[in-house]
Amino acid sequence: MIKKTLYFGNPAYLSLRNSQLVLRLPEIEKNDTVSDFFKKESERTIPIEDIGVIILDHQQITITHGLLEMLLDNNCAIITCDSSHLPVGLMLPLCGNTTQSERFREQIDASIPLKKQLWQQTIKSKIENQASLLEEKRKVIVKNMRIWANDVKSGDPDNYEARAAVYYWANLFPHIPDFTRHREGIAPNSLLNYGYAILRAIVARSLVGSGLLPTLGIHHHNKYNAYCLADDIMEPYRPFVDKLIVGLTEKDLKSETLTPEIKMKLLSIPVLDVMINGKRSPLMIAISQTTASLYKCFSGEARKISYPEWG
C-alpha cells in the first residue's frame, strides 16, 4: 500500500480522534460568527494508517502529543520546516521492527569489506541512473559515465562518484548560466534541496521499518549526521527526483522558484514510477524493497542491494 504524503502550509490544529488525524483551521475555530455545525463540517479526518510522511511548514501549526505518538507508532516520518520554508528536522520512530535488536547487531557487526562492496554497488547504480537521465533529457554523450560506472571498485577509491557528479551537473541544467549544485546556490537548488529532503525522509522511514539504524552508514560517517545510512541508500534514487525537477523547469522557468504550487508537485515523489527487480513500482514501495535487501546483505542472506534501474 502506498502511504500518503501530507503537506500543511497554513495555520492548523492537528489532533487525534478514533485513530484518525483531525485537521481543524484556527481562523474558523476562533470565529464567533461561524456556527458550531459549520465548524464541525470544516473538519477533515485522515486514517493514521494511510499516512507515510507529514510535512509541517508553518510556525502556527499546533499538533498534539497523542497524534505524534500514533503517527510514530505507525512508522510515519514527520518533517518540520524553518522560517524559510525549507526542511530542517526529521522525526522517526525509535522502534520499527519486531526483531530490531538482532538487526541492529547484524548491522553494527557488518565487516568493512562488505560495506565497501555495498558502497560500490550504490555508486555504480547512481552513476548509471544519472547517465540515463542525461541521455533521455539532454541527449549528451554519456559513454564516459557508463565506463566510470563499470570501473567503480570496492569502496570507490578512485572517487568516480565525484567525477561523474561534475559532468552530470554541468549538463543537467544547460539553460541556467553558471549553475552548480550547492545547497545555498541559485535556483533550482532550492527545489533539489526540498525534493531530496522528502526522499531522505522516505528512505529513513523505510530503514526503520526494516529494523535498521539510519544513523550508521556504510560510507557516510559525519558524527553530526543522524541519518548517514539514509544518505547512503538514497543516492541511486536522486536522479528520479532530478528528473521531476528537470521537467518542472522545462515547462515554466518560474518553476525554478520554490513556490507553494511547486512544493505540492514535489509531494508526488513517493509515487514516482521506477523500475526495480524487473518490475515497475512506485518509488516508496521500491525503497522498501531496497532497505529489505540491505538487511539481507547485513544478515548474510544476500550479497547485492536491490536498487532502481532506469525504465
Binding residues for Mn(2+): 161, 220, 235
The half-sphere exposure of 226 on its side-chain side, counting CA atoms within 13 A, is 10
Interatomic CA distance for residues 118 and 23, integer angstroms: 43
CA-to-CA separations, 36 to 10, 21, 24, 31, 131, in angstroms, rounded? 22, 20, 13, 10, 58
Encode 202-265 in three state secondary structure. HHHHHHHHCCCCCCCCCCCCCCCCCCHHHHHHCHHHHHHHHHHHHHHHHHCHHHHCCCHHHHHH
**Alpha helix (H) residue ranges in the chain:** 26-29, 36-41, 65-73, 100-108, 112-137, 143-151, 160-172, 189-209, 228-233, 238-251, 260-266, 283-299
Helix (H) or strand (E) holding 51: strand 51-56
* Cell reading at 134: 542525461
Q: What residues pair up with 78 in beta bridges, in sequence order?
A: 54, 91
Contact 244, 268 (CB under 8 A): yes
Feature table: binding site: 161, 220, 235
Is residue 181 within 8 A of residue 165, CB to CB? The reply is: yes
Cell of 142: 554519456
**Is the CB of residue 142 less than 8 Å from the CB of residue 168?**
no
Q: In whole angstroms, give the CA distance from residue 305 to residue 207.
A: 13
CA atoms within 13 A on the CB side of 15: 7
